[in-house]
Chains A and B, each alone.
Chain A
Amino acid sequence: MKRLASLVFAVLALVAMGVAQGALSINGAGATFPYPMYSKWFDEYHKKNTDLQINYQSIGSGGGIKQVTEGTVDFGASDGPMSDEQLKTFQDKHGFPILHFPTVLGADVPTYNISGVSGELNFTPEAIAAIFLHKVTKWNDPLIAGANKGVNLPGSDIVVVHRSDGSGTTYIWTDYLSKVSDEWKNKVGKGTSVNWPMGLGGKGNEGVAGLIKQTPNAFGYVELIYAIQNKMPYGKVKNSSGAFIKADLAGVTAAAASAAKNMPDDFRVSITNSPGKTAYPISSFTWLLIPSKFSEGSKRDALKGFLKWMLTDGQNETEALSYAKLPKEVVAKETKALNNIQ
């Protein structure tokens, strides 16, 4: 009997704990690409506004698009802009459109783990496409060696690593490959999840970084900050002007420069392989996906408040984490677009 009583008491205590507390909780999900930035932002914003919790889960861009469309999260995040079809699905389901808000600029880098090679390799678009199409299988293949004279590349098999989950990082990578290789475009295409010709799959940027770090002769793609934080070597990529560029803030900003001037109203734009002598070719915006109508005024105001902060104070924190700030023109345009959220 006593045991039963104490059990009941424990249950009641836990129920009491379960009673709602005062904080407003907003849930979002999506891209792992900007996750280091978002986790910092949401944490800081929470410190400034202690009765607001913005809970963001990085499950991959595909997940972000899907869940915000289903309505199970209040906002989504993706590095691949939603397609017309996906926009229509949202519109049909909810009766109002969903808006894209760029937050930062980042880059996909080709990273590798080759014993004896610790420096930077040069990669041409043809080489990258050929590796991922399984036409180049060894590190010392002429297509790679040609751009890396003087580097002693081993004759071992390349272990390709890609994402196993639906990913905006994949979208950026395949978007780039579709632009530089017709064969890739026709055979595989671009998307958050593709039918990879071969390779090992890792979950999230984290999973891919982990796999590459632990597998000798591995080659894959991750967002820049993941390569830096994990001290992994990453190579230079030849851009459309012919220069080999290493991914950094300057290169990414340069990639966005021409797009910034001609930014479409819905902010959906691809900046891979963009013109510009110093542009890094595998760069991208990443977006927050915000529904244009909220039934709860408090959530709408909270999110708008956050977005305002993100476009001003928040932008000052991006460079510490190797994300490039948004161009001024884009910030101005976004600030105006905030009024579209009702």
Chain B
Amino acid sequence: MASTTTTVPSAGPFTDSRSFISRLRDGDEIARLVTFIFAGSVVLITALLVYELWRESYLPRHKFGFGFFVTSVWDPIFDKFGALPFIYGTLVTAGVALLIAVPLGIGAAIFLAELAPARVSDTLQFFIDLLAAVPSVIYGLLGVFVVIPVMRQYIQPALKSSLGFLPFFQGPAYGVGFLTAGIVLAIMVIPYIISVSREVLISVPRDQREAALALGATRWESTWKVVLPFARTGIMGSIFLALARALGETMAVTMVIGNTPTISASLFSPGYSIAAVIANEFTEATGDLYLQSLIELGLVLFLLTFLLNGLARLLIVVTSQRGSEMGQT
């Protein structure tokens, strides 16, 4: 019967059984209407955006159809456009970013929420919020002047000599590429994972922890087996927030990914992401097919997010059922 903070209730906690007049007099109906308009405008804006994307991409959709998704040629001179290299680059860089950021982020959040004294936790959280505030161009700046040289001179050669038998770490070390972009993205999304996960972990009721400890669990067991599952949906939410950020990041990626539409198993290879190609080519795409192909790419990215969101919701529904089972004493 614990009041959950992150699950979605089926109806508002208060079903108003007063008469309409009574509600109107109290101003509630107006308040409801006004806030509804604001909430509705969000849906309207999003719908308008999708509609614009759809409408302004009809040329390539009719010309290429589904072939757009599986073609890897991008040729503005001969008017042949395919989205595959950009989809690949977007997914790979985001994947690398999450692989790095999620363990680090959740680990840090556990430290801040469970283990560190409140003062230390708050101070560190303050700094981590600052990390979230660092503008993306600054990450791009540091990417260009710090990460790329380090990757080219130290990290990529080291990876090559130790793990070079894997297809991921083969090929010449340019410094730019999927791996570099993934690392820069990871740094950018860690703060989101940490700060939201920490809040969620903190808001897990104390009695849950105490119950576990009272039963003889160690600190670790209490965290891992009781607190984390309880906070699972919130943490998932933070991961998907981070993923959304990683997929759409433009500036930092275009400064370190190499801007070449290539599909390669090697993480050292330069590549391209959807956001980066739009940024580079939108203002100058002369010719409707060209411009609309870029817009269709934007639509594709949108679809990717759509799918991921759907997955996220599914996961949340599944885990919240499990979580509520565990929460019951």
A and B co-occur in one complex: yes
**A residues touching B (Cβ–Cβ < 8 Å)?**
59-67, 69, 86, 89, 157, 159, 164-166, 188-196, 198-203, 210-211, 214-215
Chain B residues near A192: list those with CB within 8 A: 284, 286
Q: Pick 23 A–B contacts, CB within 8 A, sort by A.
A: A61-B284, A62-B281, A63-B283, A64-B284, A66-B286, A164-B259, A164-B280, A165-B280, A166-B284, A166-B285, A189-B78, A191-B77, A193-B285, A194-B77, A195-B74, A199-B260, A200-B174, A200-B260, A211-B176, A214-B144, A214-B148, A215-B174, A215-B175
B144 and A62 contacting across the interface, CB-CB below 8 Å: no
> In the complex, what residues of A have CB within 8 A of residue B149's CB?
214
Greatest chain A CB density within 10 A among B172, B175, B272, B286 is at B286
User: How many of B's residues come within 8 Å of A, CB to CB?
Assistant: 28
Chain A hits for B74, CB < 8 A: 195
Q: A188-B77, A195-B74 are in contact. Are A214 and B175 (CB under 8 A)?
A: yes
B156 to chain A, nearest CB (A): 13
Question: Which of A69, A165, A200, A215 contacts B281 (CB under 8 A)?
Answer: A165
In the complex, are the beta carbons of B260 and A59 less than 8 A apart?
no
Closest-by-CB residue of A relative to B277 is A164
* Closest CB in chain A relative to B127 CB, distance in Å: 27
Chain B residue numbers with a CB within 8 Å of A210 are: 144
B73-117 contact mask (Cβ, 8 Å, vs A): 1 or 0: 111111010000000000000000000000000000000000000
**Chain A residues closer than 8 Å to B148, beta-carbon distance:** 214
A67 contacts across to B, CB distance below 8 A: 283
Q: Which residues of A contact B191 (CB under 8 A)?
A: none
Interchain CB contact under 8 A, B284 and A195? no
Pair A62/B280 contact, Cβ less than 8 Å: no
With A62-B286, A200-B258, A203-B254 known, 14 other A-B pairs at CB within 8 A are A59-B284, A63-B284, A66-B283, A67-B283, A69-B286, A159-B174, A164-B259, A166-B285, A193-B281, A195-B76, A195-B77, A195-B78, A203-B259, A215-B176
Residues of B within 8 A of A203 (CB): 254, 259, 280
Which 8 A-B pairs give the minimum distances between C-beta atoms?
A62-B284, A201-B259, A166-B284, A195-B75, A164-B259, A63-B283, A63-B284, A189-B77
B317 to chain A, nearest CB (A): 41
- Residue-wise, chain B 129-145 has the 8 Å CB interface mask toward A (1 for contact) of 00000000000000010
Q: Which residue of B lies closest to A60 (CB)?
A: B284
Of all chain B residues, the one with the shortest Cβ separation from A82 is B286
A166 contacts B281, C-beta separation under 8 Å = yes
Q: Inside 8 A of B76's CB, which chain A residues have their CB?
A: 191, 193-195
Q: Tell me the minimal C-beta distance from B14 to chain A in angstroms.
A: 30
In the complex, B182 has a CB within 8 A of chain A: no
Known: A189-B78, A214-B148, A215-B174. A200 touches B283 (CB 8 A): no
Considering only CB atoms, which chain B residue lies closest to A203 in the complex?
Answer: B280
Determine if A195 and B280 form an interchain contact, defined as CB atoms under 8 angstroms apart: no
Given A189-B78, A191-B77, A203-B259: A62 in contact with B283 (beta carbons within 8 A): yes
**Interface on B for A, CB 8 Å cutoff?**
73-78, 80, 144, 148-149, 152, 172, 174-176, 254, 258-260, 270, 272, 280-281, 283-286, 290
In the bound complex, CA of A66 to CA of B78 (Å):
19
* Closest B residue to A160 using CB positions: B260
Residues of A close to B270: CB separation below 8 A:
200
Chain B residue with minimal CB distance to A70? Answer: B283
What is the minimal beta-carbon distance from B46 to any residue of chain A, in angstroms?
A: 25
Closest to B148 in A: A214
Assembly CA distance A65 to B284 (angstroms): 7
Measured CB to CB, the closest approach of chain B to A65, in angstroms, equals 6
Q: Which residues of B contact A190 (CB under 8 A)?
A: 77
Q: Tell me the minimal C-beta distance from B201 to chain A in angstroms.
A: 32
**When the two chains form their complex, are residues B77 and A86 in contact, meaning their CB atoms are under 8 A apart?**
no
Q: Which residue of B lies closest to A166 (CB)?
A: B284
A193 touches B284 (CB 8 A): yes
- Please indicate the chain B residues that have their CB under 8 angstroms from the CB of A195 in the complex: 73-78, 80
Complex CA–CA separation, A62 to B258 (angstroms): 20
Chain B residues near A189 (CB-CB < 8 A): 77-78
- Contact partners of B172 in chain A: CB under 8 A: 157, 159
B122 to chain A, nearest CB (A): 24
In the bound complex, CA of A215 to CA of B148 (Å): 9
A67 to chain B, nearest CB (A): 7
- Contact in complex: A65, B286 (CB < 8 Å): yes
Residues of A within 8 A of B285 (CB): 62, 66, 166, 193
Q: How far is the CB of A131 from chain B (nearest CB, A)?
A: 15
CA distance A63 to B290 in the complex (A): 13
With a cutoff of 8 Å between Cβ atoms, the chain A residues found around residue B144 in the complex are: 210, 214
Per the bound structure, the CA–CA distance linking A200 and B270 in Å amounts to: 7
Q: Which residues of A contact B284 (CB under 8 A)?
A: 59-66, 165-166, 192-193
Q: Tell me the complex Cα distance, A164–B73, Å.
A: 15
Within the complex, which residue of A59, A198, A200 is in contact with B176, where a contact is CB–CB below 8 Å?
A200
Q: Which residues of B contact A196 (CB under 8 A)?
A: 260
Q: Which residues of A contact B174 (CB under 8 A)?
A: 159, 200, 215
A77 to chain B, nearest CB (A): 12
Residue of A nearest to B177 (CB): A200
Minimum CB–CB distance from A80 to chain B (whole Å) comes to 11
Contacts of A194 in B (CB 8 A): 75-77
When C-beta atoms are compared, the residue in chain B nearest to A218 turns out to be B174
Residues of chain A with a CB closer than 8 A to B286's CB: 62, 65-66, 69, 86, 89, 166, 192
Chain B minimum-CB-distance residue to A199: B260
Instruction: Report the nearest A residue to B270, measured CB to CB.
Output: A200
Most buried by A among B75, B77, B149, B284: B284
CA distance A97 to B241 in the complex (A): 49
Q: Which of B75, B77, B78, B259 is in CB contact (< 8 Å) with A200?
A: B259
Q: Which residue of A lies closest to B145 (CB)?
A: A214
